[in-house]
Structure 1
Amino acid sequence: MARTAAALHILVKHKELAEDLLKQLEKGAKFQTLAKKHSTCPSGKKGGSLGEFTKGTMVPQFDKVAFTAEMLTPHLVKTKFGWHIIKVLYRT
Structure 2
Amino acid sequence: MAKKAAALHILVKDKSQATSLLDQLKKGANFQTLAKKHSQCPSGKRGGDLGEFRRGDMAPPFDKAVFSGELLRPLGPIKTKFGWHIIKVLYRN
TM range (shorter): over 0.9
Q: Secondary structure at the match of 1:72?
A: coil
Aligned equivalent of 2:52: 52
Backbone CA RMSD of aligned residues: 0.4
Please, what TM-score do these two structures have when normalized by structure 2?
Answer: 0.98
Cα distance, 1:20 vs structure 2:
0.4
TM-score norm. by structure 1 comes to: 0.99
Match of 1:78 in 2: 79
Show structure 1 runs of 4+ deviating over 2 A: none
Long gaps (5+) in structure 1 = none
Structure 1 residue 61: deviation in Å?
A: 0.2
Instruction: Return the letter of the residue paired with 1:81.
Output: F
Matched residue type, 1:19: T
1:39-90 CA distances to partner (integer Å, 9 max, x unpaired)?
Answer: 0000000000000000000010000011010111111100010000001000
Report the Cα offset of residue 15 of structure 1: 0.6
- 2:91 match: 90
**Number of corresponding residues:** 92
* Long gaps (5+) in structure 2: none
Distance 2:60 2:41 in 1: 18
Q: Percent identity?
A: 70
**Alignment-derived partner of residue 69 in structure 2:** 69
Letter in 2 for 1:18: A
